[in-house]
């Protein structure tokens, strides 16, 4: 594995693989099995696997956890080497945002909903850094997790709108044995908060069971989810939303193939998201 801390060294590493299919997994590091599931799929479908680790400051709001975001590059490198990754890109802020920096990507109408409402500017930061990374890595395929479903929907739109010619693969959520979706931020949870946080996957399991049993009214499913989460006083709900996949607009009717049931909440200082997807996000 070649580790490239600069754009110049990334360019050199990639020129060695010219003409081969490049797959790309962008991450913010502090890797877990969710990230590794993307890496493994990428390895199985491409000649060259590139992973980036970059905690992108522009997707964090001023009051958010940029300073507290967990990092362990040494451990991450060892994990990726073991997975057979070819190139690890680990740029610093000076490489990614040489001043003065003035160019941003807005995916309007999708970036102000759900998480965008409580994290204004977050998806502008995400879309911008992903486009910049795509321009540097030039992958044929890029791999993302369904856990960040809104992110995947926004990036899919960006890829279409800007004719990026990159295929986006969106892979299922990897969970801990107790059902909590794996997240780099889970290490920030206290024992009590982590136990309370299990109401989040439980609420989605409840929704899934109702839908399997024939429920189609969003209001019924949402009420059951609210009830499940309300039983945990340590949780503070940001949103519980049932939306159409194609435009993230709230829907009264749950339609197989075009619905996302998404939840964001706070357990202590830690913001957690999870979702149930009825449809396909890859393109």
Cβ proximity to ligand AMP, 248 vs 254, nearer residue = 248
Q: Does 28 engage in binding with ligand AMP (CB under 6 A)? A: yes
122 is catalytic: no
Q: Does 14 engage in binding with ligand AMP (CB under 6 A)? A: no
DSSP character at residue 181:
B
DSSP labels, 127-187 = HHHHHHHHHHH--SEEEEEGGGHHHHHHHHHHHHHTT---EEEEEPPPB-TTSPBP-GGGG
Cβ proximity to ligand AMP, 28 vs 234, nearer residue = 28
- Distance (Å, whole) CA 249 – CA 244: 5
- Distance (Å, whole) CA 120 – CA 221: 28
Residues 128 to 187 in contact with ligand AMP, rule: CB under 6 A: 144-145, 147-148, 171, 173-174, 181-184
- Distance (Å, whole) CA 138 – CA 49: 12
Least distance in Å: CB of 219 to ligand AMP? 29
Cβ proximity to ligand AMP, 13 vs 182, nearer residue = 182
The residue with tokens 């680790």 is 53
Cβ proximity to ligand AMP, 28 vs 210, nearer residue = 28
Cβ proximity to ligand AMP, 133 vs 207, nearer residue = 133
Least distance in Å: CB of 28 to ligand AMP? 4
Least distance in Å: CB of 145 to ligand AMP? 2
Least distance in Å: CB of 191 to ligand AMP? 20
Nearest of 128, 143, 134 to residue 89 by alpha carbon:
134
Tokens for 69? 């975001």
DSSP labels, 198-230 = THHHHHHHHHHHHHHTT--BHHHHHHHHHHHHH
Among 22, 24, 37, 267, binds ligand AMP (CB under 6 A): 37
- Distance (Å, whole) CA 256 – CA 122: 29
Residues 178 to 237 in contact with ligand AMP, rule: CB under 6 A: 181-184
87 within 8 A of 10, measured Cβ to Cβ: yes
Least distance in Å: CB of 27 to ligand AMP? 4
Catalytic residues: 35
Task: Give me the residues that bind ligand AMP (CB under 6 A), please.
Answer: 27-28, 34-35, 37-38, 144-145, 147-148, 171, 173-174, 181-184
């Amino acid at each position: 594995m070649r580790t490239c801390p600069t754009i110049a060294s990334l360019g050199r590493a990639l020129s060695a693989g010219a003409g081969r299919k490049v797959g790309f997994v962008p991450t913010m590091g502090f890797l877990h099995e969710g990230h590794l599931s993307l890496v493994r799929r990428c390895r199985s479908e491409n000649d060259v696997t590139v992973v980036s680790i970059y905690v992108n400051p522009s997707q964090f709001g001023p009051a958010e956890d940029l300073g507290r975001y967990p990092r362990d590059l040494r451990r991450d490198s060892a994990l990726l080497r073991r997975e057979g990754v070819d190139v690890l890109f680990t740029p610093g802020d000076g490489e990614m945002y040489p001043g003065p920096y003035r160019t941003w990507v807005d995916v309007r109408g999708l970036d102000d909903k759900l998480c965008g409402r409580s994290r204004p500017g977050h998806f502008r930061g995400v879309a911008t850094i992903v486009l910049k990374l795509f321009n540097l890595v030039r992958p044929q395929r890029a791999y993302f997790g369904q856990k960040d479903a809104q992110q995947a929907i926004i990036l899919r739109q960006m890829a279409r709108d800007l004719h990026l010619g990159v295929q986006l693969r969106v892979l299922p959520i990897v969970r801990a044995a107790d059902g909590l979706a794996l997240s780099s931020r889970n290490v920030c949870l206290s024992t009590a908060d982590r136990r309370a946080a299990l109401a989040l996957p439980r609420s989605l399991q409840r929704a899934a069971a109702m839908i399997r049993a024939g429920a189609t009214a969003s209001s019924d499913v949402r009420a059951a989810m609210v009830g499940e989460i309300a039983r945990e006083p340590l949780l503070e709900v940001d949103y519980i939303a049932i939306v159409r996949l194609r435009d993230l607009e709230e829907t009264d009717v749950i339609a197989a193939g075009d619905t996302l049931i998404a939840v964001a909440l706070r357990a202590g200082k830690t913001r957690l998201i999870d979702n149930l997807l009825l449809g396909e996000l890859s393109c």
